[in-house]
Amino acid sequence: MASAETAMPQLGQNELQAMAYTDQLTGLGNRYRLRDKVRLLASERSADPAPFTVGIVNLDGFKPINDLFGSVAGDEILCQVAHRLKACVPDGATVTRHDGDEFAIILPLIFERVSAERTGQMIKDVLSAPYDLGDRNVRLSASLGFAVYPFAGADFEELMKSAETALYRSKRRGRGQITVYSREIAQEMKRATQLEQALRNAIIADTVDVHFQPIVRLTDNRVVGFEALARWNDADLGFVSPAVFVPLAEERGFIDTLSETLLRKAAEATLAWPRELFLSFNLSSAQLMDPRTTLNTLSILNSVGFDPRRLELEITETAVMGCADTARRIFGELRDFGIKISLDDFGTGQSSLGRLRDFTFDKVKIDRAFVSAITTDRTSEHIIKAIVTMCEGLDLEVVAEGIETVAEADKLRALGCGMGQGYYFGKPADAAATLRYLGEHHHEFALVDRPNS
C-alpha cells in the first residue's frame, strides 16, 4: 500500500513559484508579480529610460458593501473587477491584485499624463457598471492613482509610493477621481499631512477656539441666538480657515474629537448668556453616521449644565445623504431631548425639497448665495419668497445667512423672513467679545451686574 506521501502529487518548483506569485481569489498576479514585472521593465529601459506607467485602482465604498452583503458577495465583486480589468487594459499591460479591494496595472506603452488620464477614465467607466450578484445588482466607483517612470521614481518602491500618493489625492477629492503623480501633488499631500499633525496637536493643547456670530429676529433686530464657529490660529501656520481644517479633520477621521471639544467650549461660554438665547452648532457628516452621537452630545451638555432645549444642531444636505437611516434615527433621538435640528445651506443641494420630505427639521437656513443677490436679482428674490412661504406652511422657522447690508435686511424683512445672520448684524467674535456685544445689544443683559470680563 502506498504511503500518503507517495500517493499525493508533488508540486514542482515552477508550480510553487506560480502559487507564490498568484492571488488565489482572482487568479491575477499579486504584489510580488507586480514588483518583479516593474523591476524587469525598468531594467530593460535603464540604458534609454523610456517611460512607462504604473497605476493603482481602489474601489470606493467596497467595505460597506462587503459588510452588508457578506464576504461571498464581496469576493464575487472582486472577481468581476479582475475580469473587467483584464478585458479592458491595453495590449501588453499587466493587472495584479493586492490585499483587499486594491488592484495595480503596469502600462508599458503609456508614457505621459494625458494618456494615463485617458486610460484611467476608460477603466473608471468600465468598473462603474453594475455588478451582478444573482438576486441583486450593486454599483461601485473606483479611484485611481498613476505614476510615470522614471519621473515619479526610478525603482519599484519609489514608483509605488508615488502611485499611492496620487491615489490618496484622488480619495481626498471624492469618489471616482483620477490623479497622475507630480512634484506639485507630492508637495500638496506633504502640506496636508503637516497640517493634520498641527491640528491634532492643537486639539490636544486645546488651542482651537470657538467664535460666535449673532442671529437676530428681523422684525426688531433683537438677538435670539448665536452660531458657534471654529477658529484656529496656529503659532507657526497663522490663521487657518475652517474651510480647510474642518474637511481635513473629517477626512482623517478625528472630526468627532474636534466637534466634541468645540461643543464643550461653546456650551461653557453660553452659561454667561441670558437663558432665552439659543446656541447653534454644526454637526458633521461623520457624526450623522455614528450611533453614539446622541449619547456623546448629551454627555457633554450634562457635564457643562447646558439645557439641551437651547441647542440647535445644523446639518447640510450632503451630510444626511451618507447614511439616511442612521441620520434619521439620530435626529429622532436628539429631538426627543428637546434639541432642534436645522437644515443648513438650503437650496444649494441636489434635492433640497426631498430632504424636507424625508426628515423632520425645525428650521431652514437660506444659503447666502441667494441672500447676496436679493436686491439685484429678481430670481433670487422669488426663490427666497417661495422658501419663506413654503416654510410657513410646514411650520418651519427660517434664517437668512450672509446678510451684509441694510437693503438686504429690509428686503428679507419685507418678504416675511423671520431671522437673519451676517456681517450686518455682527461678525464672529470670541467669548469675551460676545459678552460685550450682548451688553450693547441685549437690553436685559445690559441691566445685569456682571464681573468684568
Which grid coordinates are listed for 44? Answer: 530593460
Q: How far apart are CA 280 and CA 320, in angstroms?
A: 18
Integer CA distances (angstroms), 390 to 316, 335, 350, 398, in order: 19, 22, 18, 10
pLDDT at 55: 97
CA dihedral of residues 310, 313, 314, 318 (deg, nearest 10): -170
Report the percentage of the chain scoring pLDDT > 70: 92
Least confident among 11-15, 47-51, 106-110: 11-15
Q: What is the mean pLDDT of residues 231-248?
A: 92
Q: Which residues pair with 217 in a beta bridge?
A: 222, 419
Q: Is the pLDDT of residue 328 over 60?
A: yes
Answer with the residue of higher pLDDT: 440 or 430.
430
What is the rounded distance in angstroms from the CA atom of residue 318 to the CA atom of residue 314? 12
pLDDT at 5 over 90: no
Label the pairing between strands 222-234 and 278-282.
parallel
Going by DSSP bridges, is the β-strand pair 340-346/311-315 parallel, antiparallel, or unpaired?
Answer: parallel
Q: Where residue 349 falls among pLDDT bands split at 50, 70, 90?
A: low
Cβ-contact 343, 354 below 8 angstroms: no
Q: Report DSSP letters for 416-443, one per residue.
A: T--EEESTTT---B-HHHHHHHHHHH-H
Separation of alpha carbons 267 and 312, rounded Å: 12
Per-residue cell: 300:
457633554
The tens digit of pLDDT for each residue in 406-439 reads 999 999 999 999 999 999 999 999 999 999 999 8
Contact 371/335 with Cβ under 8 angstroms? no
Q: What is the pLDDT of residue 4?
A: 44
Does this model's pTM top 0.95? My answer is no
Check pLDDT > 60 for residue 351. Answer: no
More confidently predicted of 374 and 175: 374
In this prediction, residue 10 has a pLDDT band, given cuts at 50, 70 and 90, of low
Q: Cα(252)–Cα(203) distance, rounded to whole angstroms?
A: 14
Distance CA 201, CA 195 (A): 10
CA 45 to chain centre: 41
When the pLDDT of each residue in the chain is averaged and rounded to a whole number, the result is 89
Closest CA to 298 of 330, 275, 273: 330
**Closest to 412 measured CA to CA, from 400, 404, 421:** 400
Q: What is the mean pLDDT of residues 162-186?
A: 90
Domains of the chain, CATH where assigned: 12-181 (3.30.70.270), 192-447 (3.20.20.450)
Q: Check residue 134 and give its pLDDT.
A: 84
Q: What is the pLDDT of residue 50?
A: 87
Contact indicator for 365, 343 with CB cutoff of 8 Å: yes
Instruction: Quote the crossing angle between the two packed helices 183-205 and 255-270, to the nearest 10°.
Output: 40
Can you tell me whether residue 54 is helix, strand or coil?
strand
- Choose between 68 and 81: higher pLDDT: 81
Measured torsion, CA atoms of residues 317, 323, 326, 330, in degrees rounded to the nearest 10: -20
Instruction: Give the mean model confidence (pLDDT) for residues 45-54.
Output: 85
Q: What pLDDT sits at residue 446?
A: 47
pLDDT for res 6: 47
Q: List, for residues 110-121, the tens digit of each pLDDT value.
A: 999 999 999 999
Q: 273: which 3 cell numbers?
A: 448668556
Give the pLDDT band (50/70/90) at residue 277: very high
pLDDT at 103: 97
pLDDT score, position 444: 57
Q: H helices within 217-277, ranges in order?
A: 242-252, 255-270
Is the model's pLDDT at 253 over the cut of 90? no
Average pLDDT for 258-282: 96
